[in-house]
Amino acid sequence: MSARIVLATAGSYGDLFPILGLAVGLAARGHEAVVASSPHYKALIEGAGVGFRPIRPDLNPFDPAILERVMDPNKGSEVVVRELVMPALAESYADFVDAVAGADLVLSHPITFAAPLAAETQHVPWMASVLAPLSFFSRYDYPAIPPFTALVHVTALGPWAAGSMLALARAATRSWVAPVVALRRKLGLPPGKHPLFEGQFSPRGNLALFSSLIGEPQPDWPPNTTVTGYVFYDGHGELPSALAEFLDAGDPPVVFTLGSTAIGARGADAFYAASIAAARALGHRAVLLVGRNDAARLRQRLPDGIVAADYAPHHLLFPRAAAIVHHGGAGTTGQALRAGRPALVVPHAHDQPDNGRRVAKLGAARALDARRYSAARATAELQRLLEDPGYASRAEAVGRRVRAEDGVGAACGAIERAIRP
């Protein structure tokens, strides 16, 4: 049975690509897949052969001024929800009402707060998706939540202690989502549950678009949740010719990247300066992925054996690395795990500290807070990763597991089961 499925997403490439990969998978199974997202992604989405619907707020996801605020380790999540998303909630709702017309199912994203509202008022079936274990806020698998990441150890005292911490988090963030409650009231809907916690999940079904290696179902996860495995989209871009020639010309390099969001974080320039120094101290070749604005400037002063590029597809570059230094975003984390290469995770905000902690527990990586990253610390951490063969062997074992997962197939199957009468 062919169905029209609207997939909502908002944020960075790490938010877009799993949803786009899922949309392509649904289209391959005969469904009409429509991605509802920022107008800035229109060409990319339509180029993948799926439908597109624009959703406000119309913010440039690559705006350096926005990225710096979003990546603040203390206030970044509040900025996203309270300052960027909520002021445009009514407009976003209107856009989703148009987008879901005639749909058989809507799939929401953690910060597309208007998508479930539109599904509810238009009587369209709704499922939810999350990209990282943090989104479940489990008492039994308590996440590292910025800025109080050290409280992750509270679970040693038992679920009751973690529950107390989560109760405080719920109370502290209730004002962030007050516009959702107000809009529900205006639409004649009951108040609903907390949109950042249990209110983001659907009784019809929830997709955890990550590997069970970093997050297994817990007793307090919502019912009807499917851990699908990572969902990838590998159709964006090719290796720049100069980078391909560099990779072919010598030993595997260390790859340094801050993704498409942390590249705008305060201190990004210092990160790359420290990374260059660490690569030289180790005598290793290196690749720097530096974003749209800085590649030309950096290339002018790079030493031999180190190259910079604004972007390179992770699935083509990461498997050719000796090690990967990255920010711990959900999308980059999945690609690094799939590549099977040891990693140093340098988290900044949002789910990044928790992702880094979980990958480090696998023995495939190490984690170092971005505020502690320096040439000396990066050198020491990379030396351990590169000289201890255990990291490489464990990373390769993890990579085999992740590559064996069929995230697209599992997610498509769960959606199709939810659509059937």
Does one domain contain both 185 and 224?
yes
Does one domain contain both 172 and 199?
yes
Whether the per-residue pLDDT at 421 is higher than 80: the answer is no
Report the alpha-carbon distance of residue 147 to residue 229 in Å, rounded. Answer: 28
Q: Is 305 contained in some domain?
A: yes
Kindly report which listed range (119-123, 232-236, 297-301, 340-344) carries the lowest average pLDDT score: 297-301
Whether the per-residue pLDDT at 118 is higher than 70: the answer is yes
Does one domain contain both 52 and 134?
yes
Report the alpha-carbon distance of residue 313 to residue 32 in Å, rounded. Answer: 27
The whole-number pLDDT of residue 6 equals 98
Does one domain contain both 161 and 272?
no
Does one domain contain both 291 and 410?
no
Q: Is 285 contained in some domain?
A: yes
The whole-number pLDDT of residue 165 equals 85
192 CB-near residues (< 8 Å, 6+ apart)? 180, 181, 184, 199
Whether the per-residue pLDDT at 169 is higher than 60: the answer is yes
Whether the per-residue pLDDT at 122 is higher than 70: the answer is yes
Counting the structural domains of the chain, the total is 2
Q: Is 328 contained in some domain?
A: yes
Q: Is 236 contained in some domain?
A: no
Does one domain contain both 410 and 399?
no
The whole-number pLDDT of residue 149 equals 78
Does one domain contain both 154 and 271?
no
Does one domain contain both 84 and 201?
yes
Whether the per-residue pLDDT at 311 is higher than 70: the answer is yes
Token pair in block for residue 264: 């705008």
Q: Is 170 contained in some domain?
A: yes
Q: What is the pLDDT of residues 407-418, one digit of tens each?
A: 999 999 999 999
Q: Is 320 contained in some domain?
A: yes
Does one domain contain both 295 and 208?
no
Does one domain contain both 216 and 246?
no
Q: Is 100 contained in some domain?
A: yes
* Nearest by Cα to 212 from 74, 404, 26: 404
Q: Is 235 contained in some domain?
A: no
Q: Is residue 57 exposed (0-12), middle (13-18) or buried (19+ Cβ within 10 Å)? A: middle
Q: What is the pLDDT of residues 270-282, one digit of tens each?
A: 999 999 999 999 9
Mean predicted confidence (pLDDT) in 81-95: 97
Which domain range does residue 316 map to? 241-404
* Nearest by Cα to 273 from 284, 260, 288, 254: 288
Report the alpha-carbon distance of residue 412 to residue 228 in Å, rounded. Answer: 9
Does one domain contain both 362 and 271?
yes
Whether the per-residue pLDDT at 195 is higher than 60: the answer is yes
Look at the block and give the residue holding tokens 């989405």: 45
Kindly report which listed range (188-202, 241-255, 292-306, 312-326) carries the lowest average pLDDT score: 292-306
Whether the per-residue pLDDT at 297 is higher than 70: the answer is no
Amino acid making up residue 82: R
Whether the per-residue pLDDT at 1 is higher than 80: the answer is no
Report the alpha-carbon distance of residue 95 to residue 115 in Å, rounded. Answer: 9
The whole-number pLDDT of residue 153 equals 74
CATH of the domain at 89: 3.40.50.2000
Kindly report which listed range (124-133, 153-162, 299-308, 350-359) carries the lowest average pLDDT score: 153-162
Main-chain phi, psi angles of 391, to 5 degrees: -65, -45
Does one domain contain both 47 and 100?
yes
Kindly report which listed range (4-8, 62-66, 106-110) carries the lowest average pLDDT score: 62-66
